[in-house]
Amino acid sequence: MTPVQTPADLRPITALRFGAAIWVAVYTYWENLAGAGSSDLVDKGYLGVELFFVLSGFILSHVYLQSAGEKRFSYRGFLWARVARVYPLHVATLVGVGLLAAVALVAGMSVDGNVLSWVSLPANLLMVHAWGLAPVAGWNHPSWSISAEWFAYLCFPLFAFVFWRAREKPVAAVVGTAAFLTVLYYGFERVAGFPLTEATIRWGALRIVPCFALGCALYLVYRKTPLKAPWTASAVSFGLMVLSAALGLWDGITVLLAGALILSLASLPNERAGWLASKPAVYLGEISYSVYMVCVPWKLLAVNLAAKLTDAPDKQLQLFVWLAILALLPVVAALSYHLVEHPARKALRGMAQGRKTASSDKPQDGDTPKRVFQS
């Protein structure tokens, strides 16, 4: 594995991950709430993915940037750690969606033809389906963002090269990345006809780049001088981010405010973070990846079952039924975390550590092999 000592954990932004996942979940489930009107705050729920992307750049810089800059960085170990982090649950949810769709077809229910897209399966398995390499958005659709993350992981040495050299000018780095984000968002929409923040399968790999870069730049500010009044900064940035989304302002504004929130929360020492650093809050943050990845499989199962049991027309569920399904999402996510995500990650990391240990135990040229005697 990458030979670095992991810096202190940033518990407040770990807890923030759960909020981002729930924002995406409410956005995904909103169409099934009977009588639900239009809400800009809910309609902007796709920006929860942008928040994840900025967080990813910030956290990976926190853990790996210095070692990469000082050339103590193992690219192979880094990528293996990332695979261990995201791949097992990605495959498990892909299989889960496939099984649910197959059961639905056997039961005579209609299934979107793109869900079981066999032509898209190889790209999904290789995690390149958000690089414009999958013809349709099949299987577990939210996994497009994992494909985008994989693109950023592969490019991390390039990000590290740029931002390590900007470490003494963090404000300039933030201004530069904010300008890059603004120009890219504006230019993409002018050319493509839709916002980059709404891109998934065709342009997902590009969508992560400005957000990941913003996270790297914000980390430089944190590394140089954490904010002096983090609670105040957190409250203000959170309020402005929510207000921006609720007013339906340009997505770039909301993304930049989300970055300010991440920097503010990261500046909170764990001992002063209160409930944000509590075990329940951190645990919810730890299962946030599972929340995000089981969101659609759970929706397919729970909404269809609830609609059948309650005779809900067009899958429009009453409020208490809808809330129950949403409330059970973290429970399902906790199961997937403990049954799939956490043990698989531990096993894959253990495999890498075992290979490293075995390699270090091999005698080098000129060494005399050690003999082991048993009584």
Domain boundaries, the chain: 11-356
pTM for the model: 0.90
Give the pLDDT of residue 374: 35
pLDDT in tens for each of the 375 residues of the chain?
333 344 568 889 988 999 999 999 999 999 999 988 889 999 999 999 999 999 999 999 999 999 999 998 899 999 999 999 999 999 999 999 988 888 877 777 766 777 888 899 999 999 999 999 988 888 999 999 999 999 999 999 999 999 999 999 999 999 999 999 999 999 999 999 999 999 999 999 999 999 999 999 999 999 998 888 999 999 999 999 999 999 999 999 999 999 999 999 999 988 888 899 899 999 999 999 999 999 999 998 899 899 989 998 888 999 999 999 999 999 999 999 999 999 999 999 888 776 666 555 554 444 433 333 333
Give the pLDDT of residue 8: 65
Here the tokens at position 75 are 């690219």
Instruction: Please give the Cα distance from 109 to 271 (Å, whole number).
Output: 53
Give the pLDDT of residue 349: 87
Here the tokens at position 361 are 């135990």
Give the pLDDT of residue 362: 54
Instruction: Please give the Cα distance from 112 to 123 (Å, whole number).
Output: 19
Instruction: Please give the Cα distance from 323 to 329 (Å, whole number).
Output: 10
DSSP assignments along 75-132, one per residue: HHHHHHHHHHHHHHHHHHHHHHHHHHHHHHHHTT----TTTT-GGGHHHHHTT-IIII
Name the region of 48 (left: φ>0; alpha: ψ -120 to 50; beta: rest): alpha
Instruction: Please give the Cα distance from 211 to 53 (Å, whole number).
Output: 6
Angle of helix 47-69 versus helix 11-29 axis, rounded to 10: 150
